[in-house]
Amino acid sequence: MTSKYRALTAKEIEQLIRQGCNCKDWSKLEVAEGFEAGRIKSTAFSGSIKLGAFDKEISLFGGISRPTGISNAVICNCVIGDNAYINNVGSYIANYVIEKEAVIENTDVIAVEGESSFGNGIDAAVINEAGGREVRIYDQLSAHIAYILSIYRHRPKLIANLQKIIDEYTTSVISSMGLIAQGARVVNCGEIKNVKIGPYCIIEGAKKLENGSINCSGEEPVYIGSNVIARNFILCSGARIDDAAMISDCFVGQGTILAKQFSADNSIFFSNCECLHGEACSIFAGPFTVTHHKATLLIAGLFSFFNAGSGANQSNHMYKLGPVHQGILERGCKTASSSHMYWPARVGAFTVVIGRHYTNPDISDLPFSYLIERDGEGVLIPGVNLCSTGTVRDANKWPERDKRRHAFAIDLINFNFLNPYIAQKMLNGCEILESLKATFGKQCEYCTYNGVKISRSSLEKGIDLYQLGINKFLGDCLIKRLGELQFKNEQQVYQRLLPETNIGQEKWVDLAGLIAPEQIIEELLGNIENGSVYTLDQLNQVLQLIHDNFNIYQWNWVVKVLEQRIGRKIENLKIKDILDFINEWKTSIQKYEEMFYADAQKEFSLTTQIGYGLDGDEVVKKSDFQAIRGSLEDNDFVCEIKRCIAGDIKNADSLISQMKKL
């Protein structure tokens, strides 16, 4: 903004009056050097006013150019930057800093009343609709800090100190002046009250925006479209709110889309969510939460890397003490069309939920499963989703669909499909299934576990699938660790295998996309409680360091599990032990490829060709199908997975050859 202003000359005042302008006190209106009075028409001024220089044209939609300046407006207590364009303000603009090259046209009211924190400090009642897990939103809220705020409520000092840190930030942004930043465009809108609008944001046709912050940049602008209503909100860079979406008491993360009449209340959405048509109430939508269908309701739950089917919904109300129940669908879960779940429930990672479930299942330690309804009961098929083409495709597509510029990424997302958190779940799953086998015996067709039934054959297959997944993960890590170097002797091999620290050898947690050892998270939480970490910058720096050290911590976990499976301490391993394990991994990876390929083959069966070649015979049907879908052999995704597996096996063979020479 211009730093030097001067008073109007008598000649300029006369010209402004001739052009239909008026002001209660012209002495309170100051202008920048280069100010051109001819660019200000039919405008009423009051309060303290500062105007920049207007000497350019600005381009509008459709290639139309207009001279910058102000016309047909009421302006009260504003600072307006160089070459802003303001035209046809229905009521008034009050208490705003409008930076250079901003555009405001055909808009009713833009005003700040009193002091505002612009949405910062609002408590969103997430996960539990009845309250108790509120997340205090602010401009740079990450999924991980929100996770701590909502999940660790059993540590009151931690929550109090975190809220105090956020309150200090909120106090720092309180102002009686709003902002429409450089290059922002506000066109054809209704009411905008107590809203801070970031650089190059585009707001077209919004109906009402109240008490919010829109944080963006030229590289990642925010778009707000027609008939949007938003109250008590914060939007992050790259977000898009459009098509009459309605949000209240919400945080919207980077690259997230809420559109097509979607409505949300007391909910938080983190990076790259995409929510259309349906509704959300009191949800924690971790990164890549997706819902696309009109009849879908997400309520009182924690979701992450989640995809909701048409008509999927949950019930958090047993009509006794109110809507006090909550649910957890861990990373990568999906719900099929018309699925329904009674909360409370907890579903393991990468599980598909099909049908209606009333038994409050807790199956967190049985990931990659199918939870289906059969004769009114929940039946679990453990591990079967591990080698599903859809699961692998999901894991590959998430990093490709990340819309954020990573230099400014707020959420620290770990995209690894297999990691210590997931692998530990599979280890737990093996123990659970083995225990069920022993308890229920061979004569029992079904056993029960935490609200679900599991068949005898599913038990045995689930154990095999989890063992395959664990071997794949451990072998992947081992080959990557050893394949990075050329070894001259056995000692170099053993040295490379030694862990750098002991951090990460025990339990791991998933903080809504940040995969980390519980030990290091506990240390951070303790430091917040004792006051060692007392600013948002410090907190973010520690979380970034944890994220950056993931590979170090992961290897420490892998070492411990390898020792258990091989039966020797890492320092006592023999080359033969390593070669045996790599060969076991090769067997697992080849079996994995066979299962993946067999699952992909289902997409090219005769059944999937129904509806093709409508006016022809079987030959035409096959020809039409191939013209649209291609063949399994030339499918890009299938070919890419096969190339990756072939590359992994080639690296393993190279490593085996090298180590045999030592």
pLDDT digits (tens, 9 = 90+) for 214-241: 999 999 999 999 999 999 999 999 999 9
Q: Kindly tell me if the per-residue pLDDT of 406 is higher than 80.
A: no
CA 78 to CA 29: how far, in whole Å? 10
Domain housing 122:
115-308
489 lies in some domain: no
Rounded average pLDDT over 382-394: 91
Residue 112 or 654, more confident: 112
Query: Which residue among 573, 601, 633 closes a domain?
Result: 573
Could you list the beta-strand ranges (E) of 520-647.
none
Shared domain for 2 and 126, answered yes or no, is no
Question: CA dist 14 to 11, 202, 246, 438, Å?
Answer: 5, 36, 47, 96
pLDDT band at 632 (very low <50, low <70, confident <90, very high): confident
Rounded to whole angstroms, the Cα distance separating 277 from 288 reads: 17
Residue 361 has a pLDDT of 96
pLDDT the model gives residue 635:
87
| 592 pLDDT higher than 90 | no
Mean pLDDT value across the chain: 94
Strand (E) positions, 95-245? 96-98, 103-111, 123-125, 134-136, 178-180, 185-187, 191-197, 202-204, 208-214, 223-224, 229-235, 240-241
pLDDT digits (tens, 9 = 90+) for 139-192: 999 999 999 999 999 999 999 999 999 999 999 999 999 999 999 999 999 999
- Whether residue 114 is predicted with pLDDT greater than 90 in this model: the reply is yes
Whether residue 392 is contained in a domain is answered as: no
CA atoms within a 13 Å half-sphere pointing along the CA-CB vector of 121: 14
Q: Does the structure show a pLDDT above 80 at 3? A: no
Q: Which pair of tokens denotes residue 384?
A: 């079967």
Contact criterion met (CB below 8 Å) for 239 and 217: no
Please report the pLDDT score of residue 539 as a whole number: 97
pLDDT, position 156? 97
The answer to the question of residue 134 being in a domain is yes
The 3-class secondary structure across 436-476, one letter per residue, is HHHHHCCCCCEEEECCEEEEHHHHHHHHHHHHHHHHHHHHH
Same domain, 611 and 464: no
Query: Is the model's pLDDT at 560 over the cut of 80?
Result: yes
> Is there a single domain that holds both residue 601 and residue 463?
no
E strand spans, 52-98:
57-59, 65-67, 69-80, 85-94, 96-98
Predicted pLDDT at 334: 97
Same domain, yes or no: 141 and 101: no
19: pLDDT strictly greater than 70:
yes
Residue 491 lies in a domain: no
* pLDDT reading at 1 higher than 70: no
For the cut 90, the answer to whether the pLDDT of residue 605 exceeds it is: no
pLDDT at 538: 97
Domain count, the chain: 5
| In the predicted structure, residue 2 carries a pLDDT above the cut 70 | no
Strands 340-342, 279-281: parallel, antiparallel or unpaired by DSSP?
A: unpaired
Asked if 475 and 618 sit in the same domain, the reply is no
Q: Is position 498 within any domain?
A: no
Q: Is residue 492 part of a domain?
A: no
- Say if residue 34 is in the same domain as residue 81: yes
Same domain for 217 and 342? no
Are residue 163 and residue 267 in the same domain, yes or no? yes
Confidence grade of residue 281 (pLDDT, cut at 50, 70, 90): very high
Rounded to two decimals, what is the model's pTM?
A: 0.95
Question: Quick check: is 204 in a domain?
Answer: yes
Same domain, 347 and 431: yes
Of the CA atoms within 13 Å of residue 644, those in its CB half-sphere come to 13
Please, what is the Cα angle at 505 between 502 and 508, to 5 degrees? 125
Shared domain check, 634 and 520 = no
Read off the pLDDT of each residue in 10-29 and give the average, rounded to a whole number: 96
For residues 527 and 460, membership in a common domain is answered with no
Residues 39-70 have pLDDT tens digits of 999 999 999 999 999 999 999 888 899 999 99
**How does DSSP classify residue 122?**
P
Last residue of a domain, one of 111, 143, 177: 111
Buried b (16+ CB within 10 A) or exposed e, 128-161: bbbeebbbbbbbebbbbbbbbbbbbeebeebbeb
Considering 521, 545, 573, which residue would you say is the last residue of a domain? 573
Q: What is the mean pLDDT of residues 188-214?
A: 98
110 or 652: which carries more pLDDT confidence?
110
Look at residue 655 and tell me whether its pLDDT is greater than 90.
no
pLDDT tens per residue, range 529-540:
999 999 999 999
CB-CB neighbours of 362 under 10 Å: 17
CATH of the domain at 253: 2.160.10
Please tell me the predicted confidence (pLDDT) of residue 62.
87
Average pLDDT over residues 106-118: 98
The band of 486, judged by pLDDT with boundaries at 50, 70 and 90, is: confident
The answer to whether residues 156 and 264 belong to one domain is: yes
